[in-house]
Structure 1
Amino acid sequence: MAAEAPGSKSAKANVNLSTADLALDHYVAVTTEGESAGVVQLFAEDFNQKIQASNAQSNSRNEVVKSLKKQKGEKLNCTVSTDIIEESSDYMVAKVTLKFEDFTKTDLVTLERVGNDWKVTSSVNSYK
């Protein structure tokens, strides 16, 4: 049997999420660069996304994963910066800022250690 090529991007690929930094980097790749490998693995079972806007929205893990899978290969035309707001041995809060031409999206991302991996447990988005 042939092994999977090192660069292949299968949606069911196992992604290294052994540190908070690796998980955060993968979250950014999934949400801004259309990366599809490990999307399901990245989000905790109880993940929830909140969008703060004139009409606040909330999205479940399944809704977010489904949406991100549809964006496979699509790269957002924005500048990305990340700042770690708080970090401990099993918890991290990061601010991911996406600067587009006409607006800025701020994403407060919470990650937690679940077993040997790090998972994204929540995301709160706001726009300016």
Structure 2
Amino acid sequence: MEFWSSFWNIIWFFVWAFVFVAYLIAIFSIISDLFRDRELSGWLKAVWLIALIFVPFITSLLYLIFRGQGMAERSHKAAVASTVAAEDYIRSVAQTSPSEEIAKAKALLDSGTIDAEEYDLLKKRALGHPKFSQPTA
């Protein structure tokens, strides 16, 4: 119970906990960057990983010094690719505009597939009429 008796012991504990968590984040960032790097051969990746296991602090410092710039570039490329993929997916599943829906309904009406009553229903639904709006999932 002597640990909790001093305020500075508690502060020192939190400082070391912060340093340890920051170190773990750096290690996991380095490992993920190793697997993301397509230019580095498998043997060199294995050497970096073995060095991270046996001499983690020095190896992580060396990795960040010598490969930090490439690490940032690969991380940026991955973030951009992820953003582009998400935006493409959103565009692919997004609903059409109300004017497009009305135009499609008009084409169906003109072709005789639907009657005027169904056209009015589709038109009201496309314009967001509360009585005819589709339920959200």
Verify same fold: TM over 0.5: no
TM-score by length of 2: 0.20
TM-score by length of 1: 0.21
Structure (1 or 2) with the larger CA radius of gyration: 2
